[in-house]
Chain A
Amino acid sequence: MALDAPLMIFIAGLAIASAGGLKASRTDGEEGTKGMIDSGLVFSVIGLMSSGWTYAIHNSLLDSGESSMCASEGLVQCGSVIGDPEWNNLFGIPWGITGLLSFSLLFFLFLSLRMDMHAKWAESFTSYSLLAGLAGVPFVAFLIFVELTQVEGAPHICPFCTVAHLSLIGFLVAAHALRGRKQSGMWA
């Protein structure tokens, strides 16, 4: 089915990022640090893409009342979650846009680190990355709560939203590991 292909790509991306992060955590020195940054970068790219996808679903639901990009019935679906007028936005801004902007910030922080991991600001950027990732956790918790209890016909699970949530968690783990490396002198 066409609608499954993007989900499979996103899940594959999450698996690759997780495997990369796991391998990097077992590797000492600069190589391990680079691997961990790469893992976080892949998580943030998957977050960007899944957020964009949910925004596209949001637009198509508004336009036609339905979307071919995600199922609209059953437990695992997007229609009742992204299509719910009460919960599908943050102060009028669709969650997909919020996700795009948030993952852009995370991507920028890790890309900067990847481009110059020995810069003077590298230590502060690892802290900013961790703080920015942590700032997203309450939103993820809130959105899961909304999916499971608040939307029409709850509980529902929006798979593309879940990919974005997992991307944030994965990024957060990478950011935490990087900060640990920096503080323990294992950075390079």
Chain B
Amino acid sequence: MAAPKGRDDDVRLMAALVTFGVTSMILMAVMLLAPVVKVGPSEGELAPDFSAQAYSGGEWEDFRLSDLFNKSWAPGGDGDWIVVQYIDTDCPYCWSEGEMMSQLHSQWNQEVTFVTVVVELGIQGHDSSREEVEAFRDKTPYDGCITNSNCADRPGNPHSWIYIDDLNTRTSGDWELPGTPFAALLQPDGIVAWNPQQSGNHPEGEEMEGALQRLVGGT
């Protein structure tokens, strides 16, 4: 007896169409149940979340950015805004910005939570460590900030806010980090409100201080 013969037409196209239809229906159901949330560093997007070790003067502890978010926040409502600043302790511009950050923090700390994420850029001589991060934040003696300076000489006051260890630059991709220093302002619900890379959306020449005045106000 001859072996059964297949159909004359090729069913694979029909199978592909059915597969596409089934997958699309499931995706549509998902969208109805829980719409996609756009995540990214651009204004209007939900800030990329991360979990890492954080230093705030004592032991290094677990930290998760989204724990700061108040999802029920509505414009005009209560809730802390969030400044996420990226630095490299060996970057001279980050060193200089230490003073401005001290000033911003002393002026806005009632309304704004500051978070500094420390990365180590892949540049020769940029070699950081947790000891260096601690010394940069606390302004304590340690040779190595901006490659060979003493961290105690950093401009500005000791910083009293959270510093995050991201020395392996794990979060920089999600944040599309253009370089350091970089700082973005988030609404209390975690939506990016101000990104310096989108200057076309802001009044001309606006820096972080202007953004805080315009968006947070009150101080």
Which residue numbers of A lie inside 8 Å of B, CB to CB? 30, 45, 48-49, 52-53, 55-60, 62-65, 67, 69, 84-86, 92, 96, 100, 104, 107-108, 111-112, 115-122, 152, 188
User: Chain B contacts of A64 at CB under 8 A?
Assistant: 71
Q: Please state if B34 and A92 are interface contacts (CB–CB under 8 Å).
A: no
Interface of A, secondary structure class, is: helix
Stretch at the interface among B5-13, B85-93, B127-135, B136-144: B5-13
- Chain B residues in 8 Å Cβ range of A58: 34
Assembled-state Cα–Cα distance A141/B10 (Å): 36
Q: Which residues of B contact A108 (CB under 8 A)?
A: 15-16, 19
CA distance A116 to B5 in the complex (A): 9
Contacts A86-B50, A100-B27 known; A62 to B37 CB distance under 8 Å? Answer: yes
Q: Please name the residue on chain A nearest to B49 by beta carbon.
A: A85
Which residues of chain B (31-59) have a CB below 8 Å from chain A? 33-37, 39, 46, 48-51
In the complex where A86-B51, A115-B14, A120-B6 touch, is A62 in contact with B22 (Cβ < 8 A)? no
Number of interface residues of B (CB under 8 A): 40
**Is there a chain A Cβ closer than 8 Å to B66's Cβ?**
yes
Once the chains are docked, how many angstroms separate the CA of A59 from the CA of B33? 9
**Listed A/B pairs (19) with beta-carbon separation below 8 Å:** A30-B4, A49-B26, A52-B29, A55-B30, A56-B30, A62-B37, A62-B46, A64-B71, A67-B34, A69-B33, A84-B51, A85-B65, A100-B27, A104-B19, A104-B22, A104-B23, A115-B7, A115-B14, A152-B64
